[in-house]
Amino acid sequence: MSEFVKVARVGDIAPGSGTTRYLGTTPVALFNVDGRFYAIHNDCPHEDGALGEGSLCGSVVTCPVHAYEFDVSSGECLTDSAYCVERFEVRVDGDDILLRRPEP
């Protein structure tokens, strides 16, 4: 079973925003939705836009390249269901935010 890895601190990501972190060599888009944290693969499954640089409205991030929308809590693509994105498990431990890849 993979271990949780610290990637950020709670204060690094303001509510309503996102950023990009790495879990090993994997880029992960990490979002703060009203104090709850969610993580999805940073690479948009459409054409590799950086989802961590997208704008966040509620739990929906808009890809900065072609504006496909993704629910960061489920990884579902709201624009085209063929393009769901990988999710990561998030744990908050004190001020630390930790991630791990879910078991298959």
The residues that touch ligand FES, with contacts defined as CB under 6 A, are 44, 46-49, 63, 65-66, 68
Using the minimum distance from each CB to ligand FES, give the nearer residue, 5 or 20. Answer: 20
Cβ proximity to ligand FES, 68 vs 88, nearer residue: 68
Q: Which two tokens stand for residue 93?
A: 């431990």
Least separation in angstroms between residue 70's CB and ligand FES is: 9
Name the phi and psi angles at 84, rounded to 5.
-70, 155
Nearer to ligand FES, 12 or 27 (CB): 27
Distances, alpha carbon 36 to alpha carbons 2, 12, 23, in Å: 22, 13, 19
20: β partners: 29
- In whole angstroms, the minimum distance from the beta carbon of 44 to ligand FES comes to 3
> Is residue 71 within 8 Å of residue 39, measured between CB atoms?
no
